[in-house]
A = this chain, B = another copy of it.
Amino acid sequence: MESADAIPGYLYGSHDLERSPVTEEDLAQLKQTVLFGDDDERHLRMAGEVLDDQVEAVLDVWYGFVAAHPHLVRYFAGPDGGPVDEYLTRVRTRFGQWIRDLCERDWDRAWLDYQEEIALRHTPAKKNRTDAVEAPDRIPLRYLVAFVYPITATVREFLARKGHSEAEVDAMHQAWFKAVTLSVALWSRPYAGDEW
């Protein structure tokens, strides 16, 4: 795993982070709603081990997908309309660390607080600040929700590359799907205010 120091703008566990307003009870109820149980926790850890040395390859797929769609890559564009390479690169490093954190970390207060930070960085409250870039000031909520599909579907082939049984790959993939859906539910919070 890369050291956190090497990842620009990665503030996991920092005392500078605001506390998330999401409570432990909210999280427990969200886990129930996506049917996330102990078996999923185990299989998500297993997925983390399987993905660990494939994170760059997964990111290649995701970044290829974004780059191929002008309606997505525009959120990484500067004032001249072209994508800002340094911005893309910095976000990419954090995106890779997100894969690892989602699979490996306990979903505790520090994890919840960092999900809120990630959420805010998609909205006018914090987008662009971490990377000192002049790009559009928000990622529309509809794309956060829509990304549940590609972020889930594209990972299966990587989960299948380390010789696990079909049943184990399926179990890892379902745990991943649940975890991604729950993450997006948490990231939707600042968009909805009292209606979250």
Question: A residues engaging B (CB < 8 A)?
Answer: 26, 29-30, 32-35, 69, 71-72, 123-124, 138, 140-143, 145-150, 152-153, 174, 177-178, 181-182, 184-186, 188-189, 191-192, 195-196
Please, which residues of chain B bring their CB within 8 A of the CB of A123?
Answer: 195
Additional 7 contacts, C-beta under 8 A, given A35-B150, A138-B195: A29-B69, A140-B195, A140-B196, A141-B185, A146-B181, A149-B178, A191-B192
- A149:B124 contact, CB within 8 angstroms: no
- A191:B141 contact, CB within 8 angstroms: yes
CB distance from A155 to the nearest CB of B (A): 13
Q: Chain A binding site: helix, strand, loop or mixed by DSSP?
A: helix
Among B29, B149, B195, contact of A177 (Cβ-Cβ < 8 Å): B149
Q: Determine how many copies of this chain the complex contains.
A: 2
- A174:B153 contact, CB within 8 angstroms: yes
18 contacts between A and B (CB under 8 A): A30-B142, A33-B71, A33-B143, A35-B149, A35-B150, A124-B195, A140-B195, A141-B185, A141-B196, A142-B185, A142-B189, A142-B196, A145-B184, A146-B185, A148-B148, A149-B177, A153-B177, A191-B195
